[in-house]
Structure 1
């Protein structure tokens, strides 16, 4: 048994030791309790006095927008080291303790110190990420994934240090022994490594940022990106549900990012009116007076009248038959009207592509496609603009002698029968 270092010689301590001599373990127990009390007192002074004073000092000298609570939480975690340091240092003066027990308790105190430092470093990284996310460009270059990797490294090193301390060997020896287990660790941390590589690629090329609207049907994701972490990207869908996507999926699988649309300043309308082909005809005496009333068609009708007059005059010299003459159709005139209507619409982006075109006829009618971009990318304004346009076009169609195509039903016939009183 090793002889403990001599204690401070005080008369009252000597008297107390002489009083407790009839009880062999009373004196060591008293010293141990005193050591615990000193550790508690050191913890109390550190947290209740020093930290409070530090908090008041920060609040007094910092600006009004400064938040000192986050850094103080890191310091509060480090304050937990004080009791373990006091106990580790004081165990050497406790008399009659077996050396093995002293060594084991000191190893536990050192392990607690390492764990506390690791937790404080991890919390400091969280605090750093919180302050970084306040930067205007933080959404374009998130660092949360990198900080999570750093936290994993800190935890691994802390765990190895604790194992080395409890085993009574040097950390370097533990790290050397891990060389043979590298393949096993690569297998264990396979997902972490793949996620780290994916995070680096995502952050480097900016394919996904916080606030982006992404659509990934394979993962049932359609909404805004609200968080980018090491292993997962969190998406809040439009129905307010939350979908988590593995980060590596955004590198290996395909998805749609709507950021380009939002940054362009216009959202596309690509929708068709299906017209009944039986309603397409030349402008006759019945339609012509109605169509000539549209102010939007003044320039179109004037230019077409001049073009057709010149053509028909030349054609009449060779083939005077009416069938060889060119005439305006209600469909062509309506197409010109729709284009001019969109050109004059205040909520249509005039700097982007605008087309009104016919597509190939189908069994559902003749598609007249409207292809343009709204001036606002907001979902509500986009839907309102699109609805207003097609409301107007559907209502104005009869003025051109055109009809929309839809599958027939017996509702019209039943209505006629009810009017006639038939059963």
Structure 2
């Protein structure tokens, strides 16, 4: 091994190269050889470990080993062997440059600390994913526990790295840091809050660039265009820019529309307020008239037959419509809305479609439409929703129903004229 250390050095001296140049060229050659060895070793070990884990995952029934692969645990572990080889050979590479050797060794130790944190994080993520798949842990805040642990782990790793770089013993460094922590917190309060918030936002995947968010407290309603340590910039739909403190994302409530964007549709949730005075039971003649509405023909024939059979079986006196089972105009209208939505080309049929009657109010009976438009673009979404309600409002007279509205000025004038 000693002969290999200066093999190129001795050759360069023999061909007339200066001693200083020979040392540098010899060091560069050894460094290049080390990089090649490390790269090849890392590639081979990574492949072998990954194949081993995959074979193990195939043979076992538990999902834990599958999650290890998903969270890149084998890949991170594979870096350990090349790192150990590099640490072992570095003294040989920099035998003529002790100062370089000390600098590179410290760098490798710092990388070892970071690698250890990567491995711990990937193992904890695997454990988190596995526990979340178990019914007993589904409602437990596992993410919070892991995040707290990782914050302390990263803090410890950072302090260890600084202690190694500066050459100060870890205990002494930690003690000195504790003495000035109060001053640091006071001076860098906003920066620290932003730093912690940015970690939380990143880990929890709360906001991404390009997300549409609504933050009423700061008047923000638009797309996120920038996220940094201190602020989040939102371009509102009127093209103005709103700046939000990063820590506000974890201290206050806001709405992220990413779930809607990634889903199959955009929700339509709006109600028609129907006058209560117009609600009534339907006579046979009125039901027969409504059968001309194609979307209701089959439903009314079936329901009319079922109701007639029930009333006959229970000997119901139908001289009074209140007796027995009956159809109401508002109930038939609700069924019409449901049928209309289910055949509408712009409504996503794979998501919830519902027409429901809400609790009566002083403004009438709310008949709410709950469905999802297939097109999520704002302009098209508004057009689809308007088209649906245009049709439903125009269809109300066919059911002898009216929309509630407060009296206008012209209504009072007309009342005075008739008097």
Q: Normalising TM by the smaller chain, what interval?
A: 0.5 to 0.7
Which residue pairs with 1:141 in the alignment? none
**Matched ranges for 1:293-308 at <5 A:** 293-308=292-307
Which residue pairs with 1:199 in the alignment? 198
| 1:366 is aligned to 2:368 | no
CA contact (8 A) 2:213 2:255 kept: yes
Q: 1:181 offset after TM fit, Å?
A: 5.0
Q: 1:184 offset after TM fit, Å?
A: 2.8
Which residue pairs with 1:336 in the alignment? 335
For structure 2, list consecutive stretches of 5 or more residues without a partner in the other structure.
Answer: 1-157
**Matched ranges for 1:260-339 at <5 A:** 260-284=259-283, 287-316=286-315, 322-323=320-321, 324-339=323-338
**Quick one: distance in 1 between partners of 2:253 and 2:409?**
46
**Quick one: distance in 2 between partners of 1:399 and 1:358?**
19
CA-to-aligned-CA distance 1:111-165 (integer Å, 9 cap, x gap): xxxxxxxxxxxxxxxxxxxxxxxxxxxxxxxxxxxxxxxxxx9xxx9xxxxxxxx
Which residue pairs with 2:188 in the alignment? 189
CA contact (8 A) 1:297 1:337 kept: yes
CA-to-aligned-CA distance 1:293-351 (integer Å, 9 cap, x gap): 111012211210221121111122x7575452422221111111110000000111111
Task: Give the 3 Å change call, closer, same or farther, for CA 329–197 of structure 1 in structure 2.
Answer: same
CA contact (8 A) 1:269 1:371 kept: yes
SS at match of 1:271: strand
Which residue pairs with 2:396 in the alignment? 397
SS at match of 1:305: helix
**Quick one: distance in 2 between partners of 1:342 and 1:320?**
34
Task: Give the 3 Å change call, closer, same or farther, for CA 370–228 of structure 1 in structure 2.
Answer: same
CA contact (8 A) 1:211 1:225 kept: yes
SS at match of 2:183: helix
For structure 1, list consecutive stretches of 5 or more residues without a partner in the other structure.
Answer: 1-152, 158-169
Which residue pairs with 1:140 in the alignment? none
Task: Give the 3 Å change call, closer, same or farther, for CA 338–182 of structure 1 in structure 2.
Answer: closer
TM-score, L = length of structure 1 = 0.54
Q: CA RMSD in A?
A: 3.0
Where do 4+ consecutive residues of structure 1 move more than 3 Å? 178-183, 284-290, 318-323, 412-418
Which residue pairs with 1:240 in the alignment? 239
**Quick one: distance in 2 between partners of 1:188 and 1:417?**
72
Q: 1:406 offset after TM fit, Å?
A: 1.1
Q: 1:206 offset after TM fit, Å?
A: 0.7
**Matched ranges for 1:20-419 at <5 A:** 183-284=182-283, 287-316=286-315, 322-323=320-321, 324-412=323-411, 414=413
Task: Give the 3 Å change call, closer, same or farther, for CA 412–319 of structure 1 in structure 2.
Answer: closer
**Quick one: distance in 1 between partners of 2:261 and 2:303?**
39
**Quick one: distance in 2 between partners of 1:396 and 1:351?**
26
Q: 1:190 offset after TM fit, Å?
A: 2.4
CA contact (8 A) 2:223 2:236 kept: yes
**Quick one: distance in 1 between partners of 2:318 and 2:246?**
73
TM-score, L = length of structure 2 = 0.54
Task: Give the 3 Å change call, closer, same or farther, for CA 237–339 of structure 1 in structure 2.
Answer: same
Task: Give the 3 Å change call, closer, same or farther, for CA 197–320 of structure 1 in structure 2.
Answer: closer
Tell me which structure has the larger Cα radius of gyration: 1
CA contact (8 A) 2:287 2:300 kept: no
**Quick one: distance in 2 between partners of 1:271 and 1:333?**
19
CA contact (8 A) 1:282 1:329 kept: yes
Task: Give the 3 Å change call, closer, same or farther, for CA 274–182 of structure 1 in structure 2.
Answer: closer
CA contact (8 A) 1:339 1:355 kept: yes
SS at match of 1:282: coil
Task: Give the 3 Å change call, closer, same or farther, for CA 256–306 of structure 1 in structure 2.
Answer: same
SS at match of 2:314: helix
**Quick one: distance in 1 between partners of 2:206 and 2:344?**
34
CA contact (8 A) 1:280 1:329 kept: yes
**Quick one: distance in 1 between partners of 2:204 and 2:314?**
62
CA-to-aligned-CA distance 1:167-211 (integer Å, 9 cap, x gap): xxx999xxx9x9665543343222222211211111111100001
Task: Give the 3 Å change call, closer, same or farther, for CA 389–181 of structure 1 in structure 2.
Answer: same
CA contact (8 A) 1:276 1:402 kept: yes
SS at match of 1:362: coil
Which residue pairs with 1:91 in the alignment? none
